[in-house]
Amino acid sequence: MKQVMVLCCLVFIMTACNNTAENKTTAEAGEAKAASEVSLPFPLSQPYRNWQTGSTENVVVAMSALKAFVDQDYTALAASLGDSIEIQLDYYHDKLSRDSAISIFKSVRPMYNDLTITMNDYESVISEDKKDEWVTIWYKQVWKDKDGKADSLNMINDCKIQNGKMIQLDEKIQHFPVKK
């Protein structure tokens, strides 16, 4: 009798597991279909790429580049960049060679004394066709200017990663309100 009960339990568990996998596949297909049939208020400039969770290794690349900038380790920073990188910052946009990008980072970094980063979150995604991989990191940056005055920004960096190297950096900033 115990053997029959054990056998029944195993069959029940296996059936439940298979149903969950089938339900997940059906749900994913439904979401993809629903996304393509939805009438969006603004048309996309290119077809939706059905983003999926990307690799944690890409997150390491993006965060290592930021850490190297904070630490003024330009050799490590260069190692995380592709042969060329497109950089989009507040009031700046250019596509540069790795060496030119490092020169710009070197010239900008002295403006930030006692620079610290508080990482809030990250997400790594890859397009369904595996052609585009991005990492987004959300963090707070705090520093002192040359006169010792503290300042801070909320930052969002979107980093396009290709073959384990950052080839695009798109940075967005949020200034905190001035205290009255």
Give per-residue pLDDT as tens, 112-134: 999 999 999 999 999 999 999 99
Residue spans per domain, the chain: 1-43, 52-175
Q: Tell me: pLDDT of 135 over 70.
A: yes
Q: Tell which wins on pLDDT, 8 or 15.
A: 15
DSSP code at position 111: G
Supply the mean pLDDT for the chain: 86
Q: Are 166 and 83 a contacting pair, CB within 8 Å?
A: no
Q: Tell me: pLDDT of 180 over 90.
A: no
Select from 3.10.450.50, 3.40.50.720, 1.20.1260.10, 3.30.470.10 the CATH code of 52-175: 3.10.450.50
Q: Tell me: pLDDT of 177 over 90.
A: no
Q: Tell me: pLDDT of 144 over 50.
A: yes
